[in-house]
Structure formats: structure tokens, C-alpha cells
Amino acid sequence: MALDSTTSAVLSDLKHDDALHESSNSALDGNIARSLAEARAAQPAWAASPLRHRLKVLRRLRHRIAARPDDFIDAVSHPQRRNGAETLAAELLPLADACRWLEDQAATVLAPRTLSRRARPLWLAGVRVTESRDPFGVVLVISTWNYPLFLPGVQIAQALAAGNAVLLKPGRDGTAAAEALRDALFACGLDRRLLTVLPEAVDAARAAIGHGVDKVVLTGAAETGRKVLSQLADTLTPADMELSGCDAVFVRGDADLDLVVKALAFATLFNGGATCIAPRRVFVHRSLAADVEARLTPRFAEMPPVAVEDDIAARLDELLSEAAEHGARLLTGGVERSGGNARIRPMLLGDVPSNAELLKADILAPVLSLITVDSDEQAIRLNSQCPYALGATVFGRSEPASDLAAKLDAGCVVVNDVLVPTADPRVAFGGRRQSGFGVTRGAAGLLAMTQPKTVIEQTSNWRPHLEPPTETDESLMRNYLAAAHGRNWRDRLRAAFRCARDAYKMRRSHGD
């Protein structure tokens, strides 16, 4: 069949577009391969340099953040961030504190250690064990859009302190923040080969993994984590996954109601609701439920609207409709659209049924659902229906609230405060279940940027396992087992005498 001129032109354009796409992907792949090769070339010398030298770069970065905060504030921008003060609190202060923590603690955390002889088995007398930490090599940090400086910044600082090189793939609209951090580190003396900012495109992360990084640290949605892990499985590349959250708040009957209301209002709106550990579900004891609803509703009604991406607004429409069909009440707030732009007035919902999809959704928006419960046990049971287990908050008298916190399946639990204490640089932060695995920040996060190495040295001349076998071997091992692990001292003592006899026979048979 003959093609008309229009069809031929369309096909020609499609072929041209395909060729451009292939050419673009080829260029991207080549650039990433070169960056990875340069990082690998520079990393060994960086790892071999004294730790104090690596920490000096981070100390200079901290000082630069303090001296020139506007360099970073101007680069951090997303639609839900309200003002410069919030950027200072959400990004710069915790990043600077994390750098200072590394200056103070990295030497202790990363120091080699010789294991105590106290728990060494007698049959391994003379064995000396030293544990140390080695960097992975090149770490790929895949970041997210909602905290484009703080989250990747801490991960990069810890990776560099541990002796790694880093490739950073920013989240959506995060390139400016990533480049501001990169340029600051270069100005502070970091070898330019040790930190590369990749394009935001998903293909950039795929290409980096395909060329062979040594570890991946991902902050993002659970679905993103699954896709990345499926690629990492081919090479068994290790990864830390900080994934989605739908955090729960537990308001016990003995909670301070004024504190609860202030905390929930603050945390729901902080960063425009775009925080993975912001409260989404509130399990409130029946004795306080009416008061919590009555006090929160006017507070939420006074909150300013928050600009959001269209995909978030569309998903919220679906979730709210489904929740309403099951009896949920929208107490205040809602989705607004004007001129093609979406905004959310912070939403408070009451009587949300436990089977509502809203209670299982990873939405980065100011939406809070109230669920009335009669006991801690009921709250724990209902909470477990959510697949995510990133963080949680408990309000109540100190001792029972702490007891409840200990029972919760979550990576990080705050008692009688909300959200902000999790930015403590000492805190190891990570999730469970579909909220991921592994941790960032704190001592555990620093160690996660390294791999353990154990050196075992035999300092004794006695190596009976290298001698020819004898008829006494089995009796000796049976008696040693009884002497070392028998139930009472009499049995152990008798076995020890038999063991000594067998050892004497064995040494004679070896001619010692």
C-alpha cells in the first residue's frame, strides 16, 4: 500500500525523534561512564588519606554554610516550601549539625578495634582478631525532591568521611541544590572527581548502576525502591532504602491535649506537608477524640493553602472519594484548582474507617486522618494494617508512652514531640517493611557507608589441626565439649581432667 505524503512525513519525524533519543541516551551513558571512571581513579587516594584530612573538608563546608546561607537557600526550591526560615530549619541547620557530628564522632566510630580475649574459646588460644572498616568505593546517592539538600547532603558527607567517592542523582527539580552543595565542597578542597552530580533523569541512575557502582543509597517511593532493587539484583549490589511513609500518631488518654494540637498542626504543615515522617494517621483515645477534633478543625481551617503537583492532587481526589464512600468526614480543607495549578488547603478528616486506602497511602501533602480507639492494643493492631513503618509519634505520660513506643513496629519513634527530633545527627534513621531497610545518619548510618574487614592472626605455635589425625581426636573433642559447656561444675571438672589426659596422649603421638 502506498503512503501519502503526510504519513511519510510523520514516520520520518518519528524516526528522527528515535535517533535523537538514542543519541541522547548514548551521550548520557558515555558521560556517566567517564565520571565513574574518574571517581574510581580518585577514590583510593581519598580513602588512604588521614581521616582528619577528610573531616577538614566537611568542617570547611559547615563554616561555608554558616557564612553564606543564601547560596543554598536560593538554590532550594519546591512548590510546597513556604519561606527561607523553613529552608534554614529543614535543610541548612541539620546538615551543618551532621557535619559537626562527623567531626566529633567519625574517628571513634570508624576506629579499628582489637576484640577482647575474654570470650575467645580456649581451643583458639593465641588467635588475635582486629576489626576495621573499609569504604565501598563509589556510592550512588539517589535523592528525592522534598528535601533536596539535607537528605542527600548528610548521605554525601558520611560517604565522603568514610572514604568513598559519590555520584548524586538529584530528585525532581533538585539539580540547583545539588550543584550548590557540589560547588561548595569543591571550594572547600574536595577533589572534583570525588563528587559528580548526574542529570535528574531516571536513565541516569540506571546507567550508573549498569556501569557498576559499589553501593546505592536511595530516598524515594516504595515503588521506586522496587525498580532499583530489581536492577541491583543482577550484580548483588548492596543498598540502603529509605522509602515511603504513612506515619502514625498515638494519642493516649493521659496525653497533654494542648501539646497534641500544637504538634499536629505544626507537623502537618511543615515543609508543606512534604515530609516522609509527617503525621498522616492519628489514633486518638476515645476519651479525647471529640476534643482533639474540635480543637484541630479551626487550626487547620486557618492554615494557608499549599501548592502541589497535579499528580498528587489527582491521587488525593481518588483517595478522598473512596474514604468518603466508607463514611469518612472531611472536617476542613480540600483540593483547589485554578488556572491549571493545584493547591491543597490542609485537610483534616474524621471517622476514617480502618479499611480506607487513605490510611495506607504515601502522600506527601498536608492531610491528617483521625481514628478513634479504645486502647493502646487496638491502636497497635490498626496501625499494623498499614504496609509502611517509617516513623511514629506517641503522646502521653512519659513511662506508659515510652512503653507503647517500645511496642511499635517503626524505625524511629518520637515521644511527646513530633518530627523535629528526628533530625538529631546522632539518630540512625530508617524504616521497616515497605518503608525500606538500612539506615542513614548517626553512627549506624556512617558504618553503613563502609564494609567490615576482619583480620585474624594466629600468634601461637600450637596448631594441632595441621597435625595428622590420631585415635585420640574424637575422645579429646567430646571431653572438651563437655568441659566447656557442661551443665554443672562437677561434670565440667571431670571432663576437663579427661580432656587433659587426651591432650597429653595426642601430643605424645605427634612427638611433641
Residue whose C-alpha cell is 574517628: 107
Residue 511: burial class (beta carbons within 10 Å; 0-12, 13-18, 19+): exposed
Predicted pLDDT at 505? 82
Residue 23's pLDDT is what? Answer: 53
Annotate 45-84 with b (16+ C-beta within 10 A) or e (fewer): ebbeeebeebbebbebbbebbeeebeebbebbebbbbeee
pLDDT tens digits, 438-448: 999 999 999 99
Mean pLDDT of the chain: 92
Over the stretch 404-431, which tens digit does the pLDDT of each residue have?
999 999 999 999 999 999 999 999 999 9
pLDDT at 28 over 80: yes
Confidence band, pLDDT 50/70/90 cuts, at residue 506:
confident
Angle (CA) 486 474 494, round 5°: 35
- DSSP secondary structure, 455-472, as one string: EEEE--S--GGGSPP-TT
Does the structure show a pLDDT above 50 at 3?
A: no
Section 251-256 average pLDDT: 96
Count of C-beta atoms within a 10 Å radius of residue 360: 17
Prediction pTM value? 0.90
Specify whether the CB–CB gap between 391 and 412 falls below 8 A: yes
Parallel, antiparallel or unpaired: strands 367-373 and 391-395 = unpaired
CB atoms inside a 10 Å sphere around CB 237: 18
Span 372-393, pLDDT tens digits:
999 999 999 999 999 999 999 9
Looking at residue 22, what is its pLDDT?
54
Which of 199-203, 252-256, 466-470, 480-484 is least confident? Answer: 466-470
On the question of pLDDT at 455 being above 60, the answer is yes
pLDDT digits (tens, 9 = 90+) for 329-359: 999 999 998 877 889 999 999 999 999 999 9
> In whole angstroms, how far apart are CA 224 and each of 80, 227, 241, 261, 308?
22, 5, 10, 34, 20
